[in-house]
Amino acid sequence: VNVVGLGFGLLSLQVVPQVLGTFITEWDEGYSVCKRLLESEDSIKMYASRLSELASVLGFDGWLVRVST
């Protein structure tokens, strides 16, 4: 999980929709992360809630999610 710096954040205000957080999984480690995240409906809801809370607290609109496993 990554939150971009202020410069990119200000630049992104000119882009619709705004995407200011990235969630990227790659390779074998990414596979393990996805397996944990997607192991149950409760797990999916819990991680989605956490990402939503981060976006709300940090004041940005959403996430770019990239899964490369």
pLDDT in tens, 17-68: 566 688 889 999 999 999 999 999 999 999 999 999 988 888 778 888 888 8
* pLDDT above 80 (res 2): no
Contacts of 51 (CB under 8 A, 6+ apart): 1, 21, 23, 63
| Nearest-angstrom CA–CA distance, 40 and 46 | 10
Q: Which helix (H) or strand (E) holds 56?
A: helix 41-58
Q: Burial level of 13, CB count in 10 A (0-12/13-18/19+)?
A: exposed
* pLDDT above 70 (res 16): no
| Nearest-angstrom CA–CA distance, 51 and 62 | 8
What was the pLDDT predicted at 34?
93
Q: What is the pTM of this model?
A: 0.67
